[in-house]
Structure 1
Amino acid sequence: MKNLYSKRHSNTNISSNKIFSFLLALFLSITIYAEEFTKPNILWITSEDLSAKWLGCYGNETIKTPNIDKFASESFLYSHAFATAPVCAVARSSWITGMNPVSIGTVYMRCRTRLPEHIKLYPDQLRANGYFASNHTKCDYNISNRFGKRMDEKKGKAKGIYLDTWDSYELYGWRNAKRKKGQPFFQVYNIGNGHESGLHKEHKNGLDYAPENMALRAYHPDIPEMRKDYAKYQTIVSRSLEARFKSILDELEKDGLTDDTVVIYTTDHGGIVGRSKRFLYDSGTHVAHMVRIPEKFKQLWPTDQPGSIIDRPIAFIDMPKTWLAITGSEIPEEMQGTIFLGPKTEKANKYVYLQRQRMDAAHDMQRAVRSKKYLYIRQYEPFRPNGQYLQYLWKAPSMKAWLEYHQAGLTNETTGAFFNPKPIEQLFDCEEDPDNVNNLANDPKYTQIKKEMVSALKGFQNKFQDCGFIPEATLDARIRKNETTIYEFLRNPKLYNQAKYMAAAELSSFATKNDLPKILDLLTSTDEALQYWGIVACLNLKSAAYTDEVKAAINKIALLDLNDHENHDVVAMAALYQIKNEYNQPEGYKTLGKIINSRGMASKRAWSNIYLMGKDVEPFVSVLEMQEFEKSDLEFLNELKKFYF
């Protein structure tokens, strides 16, 4: 008979062996875990105004981009990456916050919106996690928080930066003496070569490409200036951008950091020839995005093989959240994106959400959703052509020539569409129609697809809150009156009823003559935003809305007190209605002049409305000249005369 103690002892020995094995396995797993989650260095290279389609690795057969193409072959290339907005400051506000511009009020170009102080920016989280975070050179985030001036010793002048956000603004911040030995770094390096301004000047050393060999987009007319701007831009990309891109990687290699650094390359939105930057077509939002991940960080790979093409749809709001996830940093709950790399990868979204509002002085509310195959665009102010005059855009020789070609009656339905009013809805099959010129929105075969995308768009707008349903100057006045921020205003049901404003905007787009009683309800409301959508409805209905009741209601709006800035947007729209319907025209232009002279936020809308009238402004230029504009507005007026007359 066995000794019970011996038996128990034997069992104890077995248990001890199991415990030892378990502890050994635990130790090894912790060691492996620690190795797997060693904080990677990250170098995020960004460049400006470059649609993915300008690069060889994205299918451009006429350009030479060997350095970027080689990098792509070593990376994971994202074929469906999109800028949240098609212009720099608005798009980059998504990068710094991880939130949609419409959700925080940064959707207006150059608005410097104030955010609540509790909102964390992604560099804050990196620095809190022990990273040395540096940025060279662009800090164009469209927010006012922390913005200040710092003396640039080399240039001898103050430079605008974001204070207490980055540890360094140097060329290669990882070399900064304040970075501790072994401290992981996160370096943003922005390449300015390729910016739109490159089209505004001639190249001293000529062009690397023959204009006659350029493959033009379907929406561009075949004119010499257009071909030359294509060749000019391809020269900039393959000559300057390529060289800068290679030099950054060479410096990383020189310092022996390549095997320890995840390198990312992203373009900040589309560009650069007209109808790309600033517009929600693929030419304006489809960006290049590649991620090169060293073997030692293999756990971050999205597939088993570098050089793979990843067709997961991603947007800019996904990127900062992903960078925090792969560095083990804390992710603020306000971030709205999804993680697309590493062990914390989240389920991909079927759609990305795209946004456009005011671009410089050109107002135009547009929203879009993009799937892998389709693009749906909703135009809230379809009477405004895409080709509204925008001072900076028109510095490109191709834009001036394109307009002259159109005014001479030489464009066709496709190449002239840019200068004509837009359809309220546009739907494109981006695989069959990569230039987005064949609108399928009214094709019965695509009814279900459009229905799903409309539903997705409304879902995004309700989920994230969309500030665009209240005109910009009206919204700003309400923010000031309530001493709050746009972010907080949108989330306060006592201040903002999005369902009410969305319903008014929906009516303004799809109303018929039978809806005139509802439109009159909007026009006679005491809410300036509802009045605004009532006027938009009348502009869309044209002569069908031209009744005595409508006319009287809009005339009353036009007389609202301009000392209250909350009225400026809707008064500017009332004046536009008077001008377009050819009654009270001198008074309408005079009213717009007064709004311009107020120097308030709606002055840009007033200019936008004036430019919208094109050559019809000519008989009333004297009315505008009597307004005694300040110097900058006189320049706008002179531009108008030069542009149209």
Structure 2
Amino acid sequence: MKKDFSLLFISLFFVLQVFGQQEKPNIIFILTDDQRWDALGFAGNEIIQTPEMDRLAEEGIYFENAFVTTPICAASRASLLTGLYERTHGYTFGQGDINQPYMDQSYPVKLKEAGYFTGFFGKFGVNYPGFSTLFDKGESYDRNGKFDDRRGYFYKTIGKDTVHLTRYTSQQAIDFIQEAPADQPFMLSLSFSAPHAHDPAPLQYFWSEEFDTMYQNITIPDPELGEDEYFMEQPEYVRSGENRTRWFWRYDTPEKYQHSVKGYFRMISQVDAEIGKIRKVLDEKGLAENTVIILMGDNGYFLGERQLAGKWLMYDNSLRVPLIVFDPREEGGIRKSEYALNIDVPSTILDYAGIKVPKLWQGVSLRSPKMKNRKDFLFEHLWQVAIIAPSEAIRTERWKYFRYINDPSHEELYDLSLDPMEINNLAADPVHQKTLNQMRKKLEKKSNAYLKAKIE
């Protein structure tokens, strides 16, 4: 009798455990590479065609003021993994491997510990020798730097066919969803290389042939702030730096500008089409009603503004990104104006999974009422490299202040309430010296706090 009761108890415990796992939502986190905030139809862009991303925004929550804390892929992706500012986790290009203590509490580790079946496909972007242990299934790959032509994007195969990396990543996602265990919730991270330019190639942008005719009969308007005066206002080390070098690669003639921006849009539209295929599989598997989808860009992007290209700088072109959270179980069609950061995404993922957020993390869940309490936040780009000047900034609802770390005498101050395009630098204006000093002190205080939070 006791034996039978014990077996019944064990069986009941197992059933309840499986039931509990099935009640947890599946989570898909989609990260695009270099997609700026307004490269999205829902954001008001009347040229780009992104019906699937727009549908996610229409049915979910669209964050109107979403930013990355560091406008470069390596540091931003480390922040997305760890929930920490660059100043705390200390990782960017040229820093070796990311420190193990930060990865020990990264969101993939926490999800796996909580019983999620986890996967990652695409550009990991962070040097970490333990990648193979982070996920139940995963593959890390990016553009192939061995080639200076379309093969940078066309080198992976499905069956015997060589396909664009965007198509390849989508197929890995579809296979993962089809094969995921029925008795576990899954968490899938998808990191598309697109729309990142293939830097070694003269043509820069590559897409699948079915997108060849998209945008071909459209003339892309000239970039805002494209006049000489806005370029000449930059310090010499910006005018001669990598932002200018890549402008020559992509935008320095009208023909090159049209090709590059259309190529950039085509690559985003291709990612969009693949998202539609993934959502169709979720529907067919009966998983759509219990799968949360989060979509974000890893940093912003210059499309010729100020006669610059790339990212890295403290202007909103570099910092502002699309961010959408779609939960089919909750009311959608919501636009939120609160400031949302990349460091908030891992906390949001854990929140949906019902997992306690590590105390060290510096972001908050995008579902938390604490979002409304964010009054200021830090931006930083700390990589010490000759071709890109490192810089740091602080932003409040009204003001943005930034300076270059190796040239702190060059300061920029903008009243965003009157000057959202950051045209009129008020740092030298006697009327605004009190505000300048206040913002400088805010930046230094916050910077020191995040530096002290490092795990030694």
TM-score category of the 2 structures, normalised to the smaller one: 0.7 to 0.9
Q: Could you list the per-position Cα deviations for residues 385-405 of structure 1 after superposition, in whole angstroms to 9, with x for gaps in the alignment?
A: xxxxxxxxxxxxxxxxxxxxx
Matches within 5 A, 1:2-401: 38-108=23-93, 111-116=96-101, 119-142=104-127, 144=128, 146=130, 162-169=131-138, 170-172=172-174, 174-175=176-177, 177=179, 179-197=180-198, 200-201=204-205, 205=212, 208-209=215-216, 212-219=219-226, 223-224=253-254, 225-238=256-269, 240-273=270-303, 274-295=308-329, 298=330, 305-341=331-367, 348-358=373-383, 362-382=387-407
User: In 2, are the aligned partners of 1:77 and 1:289 still within 8 Å (CA)?
Assistant: yes
Distance in 2 between residues matched to 1:57 and 1:88, nearest whole Å: 24
Are residues 335 and 277 of structure 1, via their aligned partners in 2, closer, same or farther at CA, if it must alter by over 3 Å?
A: same
Distance in 1 between residues matched to 2:216 and 2:84, nearest whole Å: 40
User: In 1, are the aligned partners of 2:84 and 2:343 still within 8 Å (CA)?
Assistant: yes
| TM-score (norm. length: structure 2) | 0.73
What's the offset of the Cα at 1:117?
A: 7.4
User: In 2, are the aligned partners of 1:370 and 1:376 still within 8 Å (CA)?
Assistant: yes
User: In 2, are the aligned partners of 1:82 and 1:352 still within 8 Å (CA)?
Assistant: no
| SS, match of residue 263 in structure 1 | strand
User: In 1, are the aligned partners of 2:206 and 2:267 still within 8 Å (CA)?
Assistant: no
User: In 2, are the aligned partners of 1:270 and 1:277 still within 8 Å (CA)?
Assistant: yes
Equivalent pairs: percent with the same residue? Answer: 26
Say which structure is richer in strand: 2
What is the one-letter code of the residue matched to 1:200?
Answer: Q
What's the offset of the Cα at 1:189?
A: 1.5
User: In 2, are the aligned partners of 1:50 and 1:270 still within 8 Å (CA)?
Assistant: yes
Are residues 87 and 74 of structure 1, via their aligned partners in 2, closer, same or farther at CA, if it must alter by over 3 Å?
A: same
Query: What is the aligned partner in structure 2 of residue 409 from structure 1?
Result: none
Distance in 1 between residues matched to 2:276 and 2:386, nearest whole Å: 37
Distance in 1 between residues matched to 2:430 and 2:62, nearest whole Å: 35
Q: Could you list the per-position Cα deviations for residues 400-459 of structure 1 after superposition, in whole angstroms to 9, with x for gaps in the alignment?
A: xxxxxxxxxxxxxxxxxxxxxxx7211224454444332122234544543443232122
Query: How many residues were matched structurally?
Result: 372
Query: What is the aligned partner in structure 1 of residue 167 from structure 2?
Result: none
Are residues 168 and 289 of structure 1, via their aligned partners in 2, closer, same or farther at CA, if it must alter by over 3 Å?
A: same
Say which structure is richer in helix: 1
Q: Could you list the per-position Cα deviations for residues 517-563 of structure 1 after superposition, in whole angstroms to 9, with x for gaps in the alignment?
A: xxxxxxxxxxxxxxxxxxxxxxxxxxxxxxxxxxxxxxxxxxxxxxx
| TM-score (norm. length: structure 1) | 0.53
Query: What is the aligned partner in structure 1 of residue 168 from structure 2?
Result: none
Distance in 1 between residues matched to 2:427 and 2:120, nearest whole Å: 43
Higher RCO (C-alpha 8 Å, min separation 6): 2
Are residues 276 and 58 of structure 1, via their aligned partners in 2, closer, same or farther at CA, if it must alter by over 3 Å?
A: farther
User: In 2, are the aligned partners of 1:338 and 1:347 still within 8 Å (CA)?
Assistant: no
User: In 2, are the aligned partners of 1:382 and 1:424 still within 8 Å (CA)?
Assistant: yes
Query: What is the aligned partner in structure 1 of residue 427 from structure 2?
Result: 441
Are residues 114 and 353 of structure 1, via their aligned partners in 2, closer, same or farther at CA, if it must alter by over 3 Å?
A: same
User: In 1, are the aligned partners of 2:204 and 2:260 still within 8 Å (CA)?
Assistant: no
What is the one-letter code of the residue matched to 1:377?
Answer: F
Q: Which residue among 439, 447, 453 is the counterpart of 1:453?
A: 439
Q: Could you list the per-position Cα deviations for residues 312-351 of structure 1 after superposition, in whole angstroms to 9, with x for gaps in the alignment?
A: 1121112112211221113222212122215x85653212
Distance in 2 between residues matched to 1:117 and 1:227, nearest whole Å: 42
What's the offset of the Cα at 1:285?
A: 1.1
Are residues 241 and 287 of structure 1, via their aligned partners in 2, closer, same or farther at CA, if it must alter by over 3 Å?
A: same
Q: Could you list the per-position Cα deviations for residues 338-371 of structure 1 after superposition, in whole angstroms to 9, with x for gaps in the alignment?
A: 22215x8565321221110227653522111223
Q: Could you list the per-position Cα deviations for residues 234-285 of structure 1 after superposition, in whole angstroms to 9, with x for gaps in the alignment?
A: 23323x2222222222222222211101111111111253444222211111
Distance in 1 between residues matched to 2:327 and 2:126, nearest whole Å: 27
Distance in 2 between residues matched to 1:172 and 1:261, nearest whole Å: 14
Q: Which runs of 5+ in 2 are unaligned?
A: 1-15, 139-171, 229-251
Are residues 46 and 202 of structure 1, via their aligned partners in 2, closer, same or farther at CA, if it must alter by over 3 Å?
A: closer
Q: Could you list the per-position Cα deviations for residues 10-33 of structure 1 after superposition, in whole angstroms to 9, with x for gaps in the alignment?
A: xxxxxxxxxxxxxxxxxxxxx9xx
Q: Which runs of 5+ in 1 are unaligned?
A: 1-30, 147-161, 299-304, 384-422, 468-485, 489-645
Distance in 2 between residues matched to 1:339 and 1:438, nearest whole Å: 34
Are residues 375 and 109 of structure 1, via their aligned partners in 2, closer, same or farther at CA, if it must alter by over 3 Å?
A: farther
Are residues 49 and 201 of structure 1, via their aligned partners in 2, closer, same or farther at CA, if it must alter by over 3 Å?
A: closer
What is the one-letter code of the residue matched to 2:223?
Answer: L
Distance in 2 between residues matched to 1:220 and 1:54, nearest whole Å: 22
